[in-house]
Structure 1
């Protein structure tokens, strides 16, 4: 009987301890955007991912988001990334809650079964990408590019534009020689030294090449049905648990964007300093775009689906995807 009583006492003690620990403990994956820290002060933090020079970077400098979140007891932690794929990885691993990256980054994430949510989009910026040739090259239209070397960053927005332009001219993507570059600087060097015949690029590097070299933009002023949008993304958990904060961030970004449209000279100085690129180049890139936030809608989904389908046809992603699965309509 003594053994049974001791066993019963031991089990009872373990149950009490388990209940106590459950009451004071927390999951290692608990949401950092809620609760209080051990000192009793607010620990409600929104983690924002950005790249230098993009719209969230302008939002960061404006202070608008901090002001709006302060009323709700939140603070902001800004995390800088070198490119959009790194922003997406930060979202997938839940190191950030909200981020901004290009259209291709979302497609690659979904193709790799990496969960995230598209929550908004920038306004179209079709003039922010282009296909350049040297003015003295003798190439005067996209139809002249058959058999030529075209330099791109594989899977970039400018790569996609070049494919659409070739298709419209009746040229298959297999009828040109693609030269895949590591970065925009390498592309500029390859083009300047005639190691490639054609350079597809994106702002502000497109603008820089246009200003510094004698070029013809073969796609300028032409509509290939490509809006060239960048997107606002969240991780799944943040979007599910804090839809009101997602809306607040998008509203703050749109407010910041409206300020940017009305104060482009100031934005030029700001972005020029961020990127270390001459103001004349940044001014050319900024003057041909309009800032603003759109909610996800059927038109935006259709354009992104078309791009995903082309990526599959080019072998850039391993299987077809349905982008609507990641793009709920707001």
Structure 2
């Protein structure tokens, strides 16, 4: 097992698209990950120089959208890991983080991409998961939004008082709604939360069963471009992390294989950050959405860069976990530092 550069924290991780990430360098076999220019100098880049002597298996779970299905299509991750005697198996697609985390919990997968809110919720519920790598929040990203129908009289968050808003329970949608209400000084009890999966929430909004929907990409672009929905929020008041969630036993029993997979995923993301058109093309193939939806969703989400968490990342995630506990969204406190994978 190799150390991350300037390794200064305790290990274990978590994961999504909610959403939509991208991975593996096509022009280099180096394992160092390029971290965004504004990342602090203590950031840990993903690296893995160790190869295995026996063939290992890593099972990657993916949602409809996100980094992992893009890697599956592109093929570079699989080629890179095969060269390290690691066989890749794919599990999915899953419709949301909750079902993906259940697959990890049930030993049907080893790594999956998810958001920080459902990941923390899963750990709080006792699922044997850890945090492998993280995608830092982007304050100006448009990857989350509260949507209403095009003909709705709702124009701003205050107009949600007395209305029904579809959210995924304990997930990114519920977190977004509560943070927006908090920012606008609207008591959360004055807005009714309706717990629905994205597949159920979309028709509920279009047909008028709910008044609004707190959701993420690519559902936002589908709703806007194909169903004339519109935003009543722009940027997120509390941007969230993306997480590569790891099955706890996989991280303990085969950390070198897990690290190699996380490194390859991050490299794929860095490559696709430089090839946004290719990222959109992969989304079209994966999700069967239009070119317009894919291009807008890719732009809204912004660059995808996964790194091993620093002490600052752990502190930020701890604040989120503590807030979730205060809001009674999770049943017990989560020690984020203890939840980082021992890689």
Task: Measure the CA separation in 2 of the matches of 1:88 and 1:34.
Answer: 27
Q: Hey, what does 1:154 align to over in structure 2?
A: 169
How far residue 269 of structure 1 moved from its aligned partner, in angstroms, is 2.2
How far residue 328 of structure 1 moved from its aligned partner, in angstroms, is 5.4
Q: Say how many residue pairs are matched.
A: 289
Pairing 1:60–2:62 present: no
C-alpha contact 1:160 1:307 (8 A) present in aligned 2: no
Task: Measure the CA separation in 1 of the matches of 2:128 and 2:76.
Answer: 29
Pairing 1:327–2:304 present: no
C-alpha contact 2:170 2:330 (8 A) present in aligned 1: no
1:166-219 per-residue CA deviation (whole Å, 9 max, x = no partner) reads 0011012111111222x3243222222333222212111111112234444222
Pairing 1:242–2:254 present: yes
Q: Hey, what does 2:234 align to over in structure 1?
A: 220
Q: Hey, what does 2:57 align to over in structure 1?
A: 45
1:242-269 per-residue CA deviation (whole Å, 9 max, x = no partner) reads 3333332222112211221222222222
How far residue 123 of structure 1 moved from its aligned partner, in angstroms, is 4.1
Q: Hey, what does 1:109 align to over in structure 2?
A: 122
Q: Hey, what does 1:274 align to over in structure 2?
A: 286
* Aligned partner of residue 98 in structure 2, secondary structure: helix
Relative contact order (C-alpha < 8 Å, sep 6+): which is higher? 2
Task: Measure the CA separation in 2 of the matches of 1:90 and 1:194.
Answer: 33
1:24-68 per-residue CA deviation (whole Å, 9 max, x = no partner) reads xxxxxxxxx988xxxxxx653222222232201112222222332
* Aligned partner of residue 49 in structure 1, secondary structure: strand
C-alpha contact 1:295 1:329 (8 A) present in aligned 2: no
Task: Measure the CA separation in 2 of the matches of 1:275 and 1:312.
Answer: 34
How far residue 136 of structure 1 moved from its aligned partner, in angstroms, is 4.4
Please provide the CA RMSD for this pair. 2.6
Q: Hey, what does 1:306 align to over in structure 2?
A: 319
* Aligned partner of residue 127 in structure 1, secondary structure: coil
Q: TM-score, with normalisation over the residues of structure 1?
A: 0.78
Pairing 1:177–2:177 present: no
Does 197-206 or 317-326 show the bigger shift?
A: 317-326
Give the structure with the higher percent helix: 1
* Aligned partner of residue 208 in structure 1, secondary structure: helix
C-alpha contact 2:251 2:342 (8 A) present in aligned 1: no
1:81-123 per-residue CA deviation (whole Å, 9 max, x = no partner) reads 4132333233334333322222233222222222221010134
C-alpha contact 1:297 1:329 (8 A) present in aligned 2: no
Task: Measure the CA separation in 1 of the matches of 2:156 and 2:342.
Answer: 39
Q: 1:179 to 1:87 in 2, by over 3 A?
A: closer
C-alpha contact 1:296 1:328 (8 A) present in aligned 2: no
Task: Measure the CA separation in 2 of the matches of 1:186 and 1:298.
Answer: 38
Q: Hey, what does 2:307 align to over in structure 1?
A: 294
Q: 1:185 to 1:112 in 2, by over 3 A?
A: closer
Q: Which runs of 5+ in 1 are unaligned?
A: 1-32, 36-41
Task: Measure the CA separation in 1 of the matches of 2:148 and 2:342.
Answer: 40
How far residue 129 of structure 1 moved from its aligned partner, in angstroms, is 0.9
Q: Hey, what does 1:120 align to over in structure 2?
A: 133
* Aligned partner of residue 142 in structure 2, secondary structure: helix
Task: Measure the CA separation in 2 of the matches of 1:49 and 1:139.
Answer: 38
Task: Measure the CA separation in 1 of the matches of 2:228 and 2:99.
Answer: 34
Q: 1:34 to 1:105 in 2, by over 3 A?
A: farther
How far residue 134 of structure 1 moved from its aligned partner, in angstroms, is 3.9
C-alpha contact 1:312 1:319 (8 A) present in aligned 2: yes
Q: Of the two, which has the highest radius of gyration?
A: 1
Task: Measure the CA separation in 2 of the matches of 1:155 and 1:109.
Answer: 9
